[in-house]
Structure 1
């Protein structure tokens, strides 16, 4: 049975400041680097056969912590990048609410934001396609670990499973360096085996942006 681990990157200063990252290439902070090491020590026990990552540094450096323990090389896929948040990127969510009140209200309601923000459908489709290609790298019955981003992970997995947006909204945001475990059953297809698994953290959950 193929196992796919969809892993959110470690903490960044923009996460800590509730600042919208989107596709801005922000690095891990000290906490994020430690989270990556702690998570890698758990994930290595799953004996991954391949590691795939978003090419943005916060995900790539998270994946590198696991690569260091496994000796595996990392494949990079731009389709695993975070949702593109357009003009929101770089602002705190408080500033977004002030500067783009209508868009922010739609975002809070789980609706399409509009403007230059990537649609949920586009996000889900591109990430889901990347996840399927990553899963194909697994040896028979093997495990693939995919390092990506919060909104990308949730929407990509939801699209892969065929879940409507309303159902996805019942899932809380992934914590930094936590993951979703999917398994592929010959008869039932992809199934969720675990959600929001990872190293213990006392920090509050930052938004998946």
Structure 2
């Protein structure tokens, strides 16, 4: 059995403003750094054998705090980046709803069109599946943390649980939340989703 601990990165300024943030490489905010420390404390008792992360700063910074507590290196992989939101990048959710209503509806419906100028869900699924296959091969019977982004981690859940991928936010994962999937030869089980009990109240 492999236990996957799925960690969304801590908060950035754009997260706080409810903006689409894909490839823009923002660091954690002060609140995000507090969240990362609280998350590392929560995971201190877990027998984590490897920490994989997106190579974007917000994920790298979160992963570094977790890995340091376990004396582990951070395994950075660009295939774990957030999807490319194209022309939606930096826009608020309300702005995308207002200016790209038809495109947003099509994106949410399934594996069809990408956000204008962005990445298709099919492409996201292919790169995330490749990482999962490698983790499964390297870390049998281990606990592995994957620190990444809302869209990327949602794709991990789609692929692990055999759910057809779609756009939008089917699985809500807040900043610095913890989700858990267990994989064995009989299939996958979702143990926890979007757990934020470890987070301090926002300042």
TM-score where L is the length of structure 2: 0.87
Distance 1:95 1:113 in 2: 19
1:127 equivalent in structure 2 = 128
Alignment coverage as a number of residue pairs: 200
Instruction: Classify the secondary structure of the residue corresponding to 1:190.
Output: strand
Match of 1:191 among 189, 192, 196: 189
Distance 1:109 1:202 in 2: 35
Residue 74 of structure 1 deviates from its aligned partner by 0.6
Q: Deviations over 1:159-185 (max 9, x none)?
A: 23321247x979441011112211122
Q: Using a 3 Å threshold, how does the CA distance of structure 1 residues 111 and 79 change in structure 2: closer, same or farther?
A: closer
2:99 equivalent in structure 1 = 99
Q: Using a 3 Å threshold, how does the CA distance of structure 1 residues 8 and 125 change in structure 2: closer, same or farther?
A: same
Distance 1:177 1:92 in 2: 20
**1:104-115, aligned counterparts within 5 Å?**
104-107=104-107, 109=109, 112-114=112-114, 115=116
Residue 46 of structure 1 pairs with residue 70 of structure 2: no
Instruction: Classify the secondary structure of the residue corresponding to 1:136.
Output: helix
Distance 2:64 2:14 in 1: 20
Distance 1:171 1:202 in 2: 25
1:207 equivalent in structure 2 = none
2:12 equivalent in structure 1 = 12
Distance 1:30 1:135 in 2: 34
Where does the alignment leave 5 or more consecutive residues of structure 2 unmatched? none
Residue 64 of structure 1 pairs with residue 98 of structure 2: no
1:82 equivalent in structure 2 = 82
Distance 1:19 1:169 in 2: 14
- Please tell me whether the aligned partners of residues 128 and 157 of structure 1 are also in contact (alpha carbons under 8 angstroms): no
Residue 25 of structure 1 deviates from its aligned partner by 0.6
Distance 1:176 1:159 in 2: 21
Instruction: Classify the secondary structure of the residue corresponding to 2:6.
Output: strand
- Please tell me whether the aligned partners of residues 106 and 112 of structure 2 are also in contact (alpha carbons under 8 angstroms): yes
